[in-house]
Amino acid sequence: MISILLYMSLFLLFGRFNCQDGNSTLRYEYKYSFKGPALSQTDGTIPFWNHTGDAVPGDEQVRIVPSLRAKTGAVWSNYPFPYDDWQLDVHFRIQGRGKLGADGLVVWLVETPAQIGPVFGYMDMWKGVGIFFDSFDNDNQHNNPYVSAIMNDGSLSYNHATDGFEQKAGGCLRDFRNRPYPVKVRVTYTGQTLTVLVDSGATSVEEFEVCLKVEGVVIPKNYYFGVTAATGGLADDHDVLKFMVWSRHVGGNVSATEVESESNEEKEREEERRRLEEEYERNLQEFQKKQEEYLEQHPEQAKQQGSVDDLFEGGSSKELKAVFEVQEQIKKQINHLVTVLSTVQGKQDFIVSKLDGIGTTGGQDGVDVAKSHQVDNLMNFQRQIYDKIESLNNQLNFIKTTSVSLSDSVTRMAAERPVGGTYESKQDMNDLKDRLEMLQSNIVSLQSKVSTPPRLSCPQPDPPSCVSIGLVLLVAIAQVAVIIIYHSVKQSREDAAKKFF
């Protein structure tokens, strides 16, 4: 009981905030939402919600299903949602050790809640709408992970064989598995228009992109919100960190009855809120003090505590963050290499045009041109090409060093922290090492192509023309080398993208 009042008092402390959105007002509906911290109570329940199946509420998130085979779980709101227009924000993680995951997660707004069934843990032939995040490619069309919306009036049976592809009202292809940050989804329903925006989870900043927009969608009032998930032969951890609902009121038109009811509730709980806040602060300070005293008296327990915490870092582990940082550095260096190669190609095109002009001038005028300031310009261009190739060689050395460091880190990870010894984990580690070795071999091949710098030579005064066969061959070889390097770097970039994503 105290936990419920504490949860409600925290919401009342910050209030049901209103925010203007054009001609409408968004009002936060705490009875239809949940988020951390203190997401669950001491008895393992979620205020205003119930969980079924294999769902496990925690302090910061709700694990809808764990990464075990053939599991289903769900969380459902206890109250029907009484508003016509609304906005929903969901933050979730789907993580697994294998390259493929299953089955997926669905956000529901339906007439009948808490019904167990074959559609990602919910009943078939439902009434309402489901936002599907399907991880597994049942039809082998290479179109998963996929985000879609499916409306149902109770007569439609979900087609598992095709992942419901022909039944969807709209959707988009998005990779929402094993992202460095939680994936964020925003669903809005206004004026019978359903819109779904998805953030990739690549950064901590919300960067929503429109996934689907469907007009003419009729979703009645007094339906129930819920989230379900399921695993099959493959399994992922499906976690929901935030589920936040806002009601939308045109022109800020909130009924007087609702305002009066909320005012009375706030007055009734104001004193209780203050008492609970003071009691919570006292208990928290006392707990922290006792914890510090215990760790000081038992230093070996403090070390063990740190080592245990390191084992359960999940998707935000130090190794995973290091891999993403190295990947970002390699991408930056490749972009720099592309810029350098473009500059070199432009300089070479200019040199070729100058050489063509010198070769076609002829006679005494050609001799004068060959001995004029353009000879100095030609030598400067040669030196610039030499400097660019040296810079390219240095960049390749950096990428080689980075890949070797990453390969060593992966090897240490395999030796120090074996991932359960499963077949999929070993295959992933071997595949990653093979790709790193391929990247190193490509870099060595590129270095061998640019290891010999071009020779710089001045044209002899006799014969008068400074264009020689050696210079023409040098320019031709340089162009061929640039083309080979460009295609090799482009291929390496594509391999790196496939490897990490």
Distance in angstroms (rounded) separating the CA atoms of residues 374 and 366: 11
Produce one character per residue of 193-217: b if its CB has 16 or more CB atoms within 10 Å, e if not: ebbbbbbbbeeeeeeeeebbebeee
Q: Which CATH number describes the domain made up of 2-254?
A: 2.60.120.200
CA–CA gap between residue 122 and residue 364 (Å, rounded): 90
Q: Residue 439 is inside which H or E element, if any? A: helix 423-450
- Domains of the chain by residue range: 2-254, 317-500
Of 120, 118, 122, 123, the C-alpha closest to 134 is 120
* Residue 308 identity: V
Residues 227 and 64 sit within 8 Å (Cβ to Cβ):
yes
Q: How many CB atoms lie within 10 A of CB 174?
A: 19
Single-letter code of the amino acid located at 171? G
E strand or H helix that includes residue 215: strand 209-215
Q: How far apart are CA 392 and CA 471, in angstroms?
A: 21
> If we measure between CA atoms, which residue out of 88, 155, 86, 101 comes closest to residue 133?
101
DSSP string, 350-390: HHHHHHHHHHHH-HHHHHHHHTSHHHHHHHHHHHHHHHHHH
Q: Among the residues of 235-372, which ranges form H helices? A: 256-297, 299-311, 318-361, 363-370
Cα–Cα distance measured from residue 192 to residue 395, given in angstroms and rounded to the nearest whole number: 55
Output the CA angle 486-489-494, nearest 5 degrees: 125
Q: In DSSP terms, which residues pair with 51 in a beta bridge?
A: 75
Token reading at 121: 């843990």
Sheet with 49-53, strands from edge to edge, namely 49-53, 72-77, 224-230, 104-110, 127-134, 146-153, 170-173
Sequential pLDDT tens for the chain (501 residues): 444 444 444 444 444 445 555 567 889 999 999 998 889 888 889 999 999 999 999 989 999 999 999 999 999 999 999 999 999 999 999 999 888 888 899 999 999 999 999 999 999 999 999 999 999 988 888 888 999 999 999 999 999 999 998 999 999 999 999 999 999 999 999 999 999 999 988 888 888 999 999 999 999 999 999 999 999 889 999 999 999 999 998 765 555 555 555 555 566 656 766 777 788 788 888 888 888 888 888 887 766 655 544 444 444 456 666 676 777 778 777 877 778 777 877 777 777 777 776 655 554 444 444 455 666 777 777 777 777 777 777 777 777 676 666 666 656 665 555 444 454 555 656 666 666 666 666 666 665 655 555 555 555 555 555 556 666 777 778 777 778 888 778 887 777 766 555
Q: Is 56 exposed, middle or buried (0-12, 13-18, 19+ CB in 10 A)?
A: middle
Q: Rounded CA gap, 416 and 362, in Å?
A: 72
- 93 with 71: CB under 8 angstroms? no
Shortest CA distance to 442 belongs to which of 478, 405, 493?
A: 493
Closest to 463 in 3D by CA, of 358, 385, 383: 358
Q: Please say whether the beta carbons of 230 and 115 come within 8 A.
A: no
C-alpha closest to that of 333 among 202, 475, 161, 492: 492
Give the orientation angle of helix 318-361 with respect to helix 363-370, to 10 degrees. 140
* Distance (Å, whole) CA 402 – CA 412: 15
Three-state SS for 93? strand
pLDDT at res. 486 = 80
Largest CA distance in the chain: 105
Nearest-angstrom CA–CA distance, 58 and 347: 61
Distance CA 181, CA 34 (A): 19
> What count of Cα atoms within 13 Å lies in the side-chain half-sphere of residue 489?
28
pLDDT at 89: 96
